[in-house]
Amino acid sequence: MTAHSDPRMSRQITPGAAPFQVSFEFFPPKTDVMEERFWDSIGKLAPLHPRFVSVTYGAGGTTRERTLRMVSRIKSDTGVDAAAHLTCVGASRDEVDAVVRGYQAVGVNRIVALRGDPPEGTGQPFVAHPEGYQNAAELVAGIRRIGDFDISVSAYPEKHPQSPNWDAEIDNLKRKLGAGASRAITQMFFDNDDYFRLLDRAEKAGITAPIVPGIQPIHSFKQISSFAARCGATIPNWVAQRFEGLDEDPETHALVASAVAAEQVLELVDQGITEFHFYTLNRANLVLALARLLGVRPS
């Protein structure tokens, strides 16, 4: 294999010998049809040897059984490492600990540990269960007490909507990592400068753990802009303009989505980023294309 180097950029990508690590996030399917698409996408992405495939945890633990079933089957059927998300919304410590032990029992030793949001929605104030973990940092410490898990936590390039300021935001990230997490994965973002500013702030605060960019390909502009609004992520005007008028033109929409995500990922590569977490929404194609750009291919 020869390295492909782009004369206009510092990028050097060698197919098949990628120095890049990827992970893929899925959500637990609700119906048989969705489950079919889930496994089809897993089947396409597992051969890329991701660091792990993660499965989210529905608001308030509503997907507890399905998350467990999916992660355990991903591990047994594909051999790929699976990470289970876990939140502490609406559950006592004992209940959350029981879920952690359930993951442990099926051999899942990676957890993405989150506080979660109230069932009423992301804009509502979070009220912890009276006997529950108060936040993600406490949850990480609780998981650590149970076993030797590889724990990831969240990070926010645009600050968590409930953080009063950046000092509080970075202190919280530091607490979560200090409690025993080994990496942070970011919320979706579309302006790479926000991510680089987060890295600068973290570095200044003495954080050395990796902060992996969470990349959300825009499969559907309508859907992603609604997700983004709910979690406090901004879609810049220049991104919105690219999708303008494409609601009824899925083919052009898909091409633009691919170009926008490719531009974002390759700009991160140019700045030395080597690890990526892709929000798949249980669809493989766009993510497969992006992985290919990174030289990450099935073997």
CB of 65 to ligand FAD, least distance (A): 15
Name the pairing type of β-strands 21-26 and 275-279. parallel
SS3 85: strand
Site string for ligand FAD, 43-62 (x = CB under 6 A): -------------xx-x---
Mark the segment that binds ligand FAD (CB under 6 A) among 29-37, 90-98, 161-169, 262-270: 161-169
Mark the segment that binds ligand FAD (CB under 6 A) among 2-10, 91-99, 131-139, 254-262: 131-139
CB of 229 to ligand FAD, least distance (A): 13
d(CA 272, CA 30): 38
Task: Provide the Cα torsion 243, 186, 21, 28; round to 10°.
Answer: -80
How many residues touch ligand FAD under the rule CB under 6 A: the total is 25
The per-residue DSSP string of 260-276 comes to: HHHHHHHHHHHTT--EE
Name the pairing type of β-strands 82-87 and 275-279. unpaired
Nearer to ligand FAD, 184 or 257 (CB): 184
Q: Which two tokens stand for residue 298?
A: 């099935």
Q: Which long-range contacts (CB under 8 A, 24 or more apart) does 255-260 make?
A: 257/217, 257/218, 257/219, 257/221, 257/286, 258/217, 258/286, 258/289, 258/290, 260/218
Among this protein's residues, is 25 annotated catalytic? yes
Contacts to ligand FAD from residues 236-275, by CB under 6 A: none
Instruction: Classify residue 116 as left (phi > 0), alpha (psi -120 to 50) or beta.
Output: left
Mark the segment that binds ligand FAD (CB under 6 A) among 110-118, 195-203, 233-241, 252-260: 110-118
Site string for ligand FAD, 172-211 (x = CB under 6 A): x---x--------x-x------------------------
Any idea which residues carry the catalytic annotation?
25
Interacting residues toward ligand FAD by CB under 6 A: 56-57, 59, 85, 87, 112, 114-117, 135-137, 154, 160, 162-163, 168-169, 172, 176, 185, 187, 214, 231
